[in-house]
Amino acid sequence: MNYQESLDYLYSQARLGIKLGLENTSRLLDHFGNPQLETPTIHIAGTNGKGSTASFVESILRAAGYRTGLYTSPHILDFRERIQINRQLISQEELAHWIVAIKQASQELNIAPTFFEIGTLIAFLHFNQQETDWNIVEVGMGGRLDSTNLCQGRVCIITPISRDHESSLGTKLEQIAREKAAIIKHPCTVVSGSKEKEVIEVIQGQCRAHKASLLQMGQNFHINIQSHSLKGQVFDLNGPEIWYKGLEIALIGRHQSVNAGLAVAACTALADPLITEQTIRQGLKSANWSGRLEMSGANPSLILDGAHNFDSFKKLTASLSELFPHKRKIWVFGIMKDKPLAKITELISEYADYVVVTQPKSDRSTPPEQIRNAFTDFTKPIDQVDEIPLALDRAYQVAEPDDLIVVTGSLFTVAEAKQVIDNQTYNS
């Protein structure tokens, strides 16, 4: 198979949907000699902030001179974004090679791996062949039954936990926490960013069961933000064994300081002489992560953000209020079916001056008319434009130079908008 044919096969497996479970991945990894166990790994679970935290960890380790493998999901424009070495995408030839190998092995074993299972296998095989020094692996969904959970984390990071994917992970925070804390295995160090008592208790219990040490944000280390602007932010991180003042990151949104703090605590926990204050500072400052409060354009300004659940929308609206308090905000909004639409639209209604509801090209996306009907108490203008390119055009038509356009609701929505922005020139 050539590259396009291999991609076609990969995406054809998406018809199998999301199937939580380890059997397929375990059998295939056994077939290939369990490459995921050959390289020390930082394993990252949580509800929001996993990708950004992974980016900070990767950047710090690369600044220390290590060859890094980074596996994240979902991608925005190109599947190859999910699998990177030293922030270089896997090549088309390498991707096609591994898809062919996995397809052949699957036929031999008489199993049908899902889209995500294949992606996880490619990452582990590619990193092992390319002899990475460290792998940074983001959980896809949950943790306990996620394909990535067949690796062994030297450090496990659990970012703040909130409600999402409730049909698969449970409706109570402690249920969701149990799924995510299941990445904890002996031996490892755990770095946690949750504040809720019931979540902390679950993580503490899992750490005791597996004799894992725990660094809990707010107890073992603290983050204090010193400044926050559109140019980035500065924060201090301190604890009994950690003390850094004036750490700088380019990512905006106060929650990114939390993500960066978790990454610093995790890298410091490695007690590696190559990970110094200088490499930590260098890594944090150079880290980037697309589609999260990403600025694009001016007059009007435009923000792309992959907020997709209630907690991430709270962070987004808080950031917009702080960074753009006086701008009229025009929202381009398309969201998936499994989200608490009524709660999210109620929240958005407080912060939006104009809404254009739309629909990304995904079988999982919510029809625009359903979204529009969910804005029950919204008294300001609202349009329904079914296709994202036309929805973005509509937002620019109604926007004044001093306004802010906010594209959000899903990374699928952000991805389609980025394609439009890359192919067209606004504000010319």
Helix or strand or coil: residue 36?
helix
Global pTM value = 0.95
Helix or strand or coil: residue 218?
coil
For tokens 């995510």, the residue is: 180
Query: What single string gives the DSSP state of each residue in 67-135?
Result: -EEEE-S--SS-GGGGEEETTEEPPHHHHHHHHHHHHHHHHHHT----HHHHHHHHHHHHHHHTT-SEE
Contact in structure between 411 and 291 (CB atoms under 8 Å): yes
For residue 381, give Cα distances in angstroms to 117, 330, 344, 355, 356: 43, 10, 18, 7, 9
Per-residue pLDDT in tens (0 to 9) along the chain, 428 residues: 899 999 999 999 988 777 778 999 999 999 999 999 999 999 999 999 999 999 999 999 999 999 999 999 999 999 999 999 999 999 999 999 999 999 999 999 999 999 999 999 999 999 999 999 999 999 999 899 999 999 999 999 999 998 666 666 777 899 999 999 999 999 999 999 999 999 999 999 999 999 999 999 999 999 999 999 999 999 999 987 789 999 999 999 999 999 999 999 999 999 999 999 999 999 999 999 999 999 988 899 999 999 999 999 999 999 999 999 999 999 999 999 989 999 999 999 999 999 999 999 998 999 999 999 999 989 999 999 999 999 999 999 999 999 999 999 999 999 999 999 988 755 43
Q: What angle do the packed helices 277-286 and 50-63 form, to 10 degrees?
A: 130
Beta sheet of 189-192, edge-to-edge order? 88-89, 83-85, 68-71, 134-138, 41-45, 153-158, 189-192, 213-216
CA–CA separation, 256 vs 259, rounded Å? 5
Contact in structure between 28 and 102 (CB atoms under 8 Å): yes
Task: Report residue 279 as tokens.
Answer: 């490499």
Of the candidates 189, 193, 161, the residue with the CA atom closest to the CA atom of residue 177: 161
For residue 313, give Cα distances in angstroms to 146, 210, 214: 25, 34, 29
3-state helix, strand, coil in the chain (%, to 5): 45, 20, 35
Residue 339 CA, distance from chain mean position:
16
Position 407, amino acid: V
Contact in structure between 51 and 289 (CB atoms under 8 Å): yes
CA–CA separation, 428 vs 426, rounded Å? 5
Contact in structure between 177 and 164 (CB atoms under 8 Å): no
Task: Report residue 221 as tokens.
Answer: 């280390």
Helix or strand or coil: residue 388?
helix
Question: In the chain, what are the domains?
Answer: 3-286 (3.40.1190.10), 294-423 (3.90.190.20)
